[in-house]
């Protein structure tokens, strides 16, 4: 499941980068070029679509990131770490000496 969320994060990130690069905050750039040939869907509607797509992808990226963090595989074995296995089995605190 973690791999699926990682792939979805990468897809959202690439699409978000592309959509942000297409936008121009002053109404020009690539967004204005899409509306010149077709007056039914003008520059304003194209800019609205790009803004909605940006917000949708940003929210999806956050959601997929949270889901990926909850689905990270954890090993729940009680085996000691390799460094602990190589250490001799000695007590950690000195034992009290009786009289």
Answer yes or no: are the C-beta atoms of 1 and 71 closer than 8 Å: yes
What does each of the 99 residues of the chain score in pLDDT, given as a tens digit? 889 999 999 999 999 999 999 887 665 555 555 555 545 556 678 888 888 999 999 999 999 999 999 998 877 766 666 666 666 666 666 667 766
CB within 8 Å of 50: residues ≥ 6 apart: 19, 22, 23, 31
Helix locations, the chain, DSSP H = 2-22, 30-34, 43-70, 82-86
Rounded to whole angstroms, the Cα distance separating 56 from 74 reads 31
**pTM given for the model:** 0.59
Give the Cα separation of 66 and 5 in Å (integer): 9
């Amino acid at each position: 499941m973690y791999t699926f969320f990682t792939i979805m994060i990468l897809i959202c990130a690439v699409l978000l980068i592309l959509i942000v690069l297409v936008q121009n905050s002053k109404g020009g750039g690539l967004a204005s070029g899409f509306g010149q040939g077709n007056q039914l869907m003008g520059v304003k509607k194209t800019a609205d679509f790009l803004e909605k797509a940006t917000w949708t992808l940003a929210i999806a990226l956050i959601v997929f990131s949270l889901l990926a963090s909850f689905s990270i595989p954890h090993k729940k074995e009680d085996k000691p770490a390799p460094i602990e296995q190589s250490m001799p089995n000695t007590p950690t605190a000195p034992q009290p000496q009786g009289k």
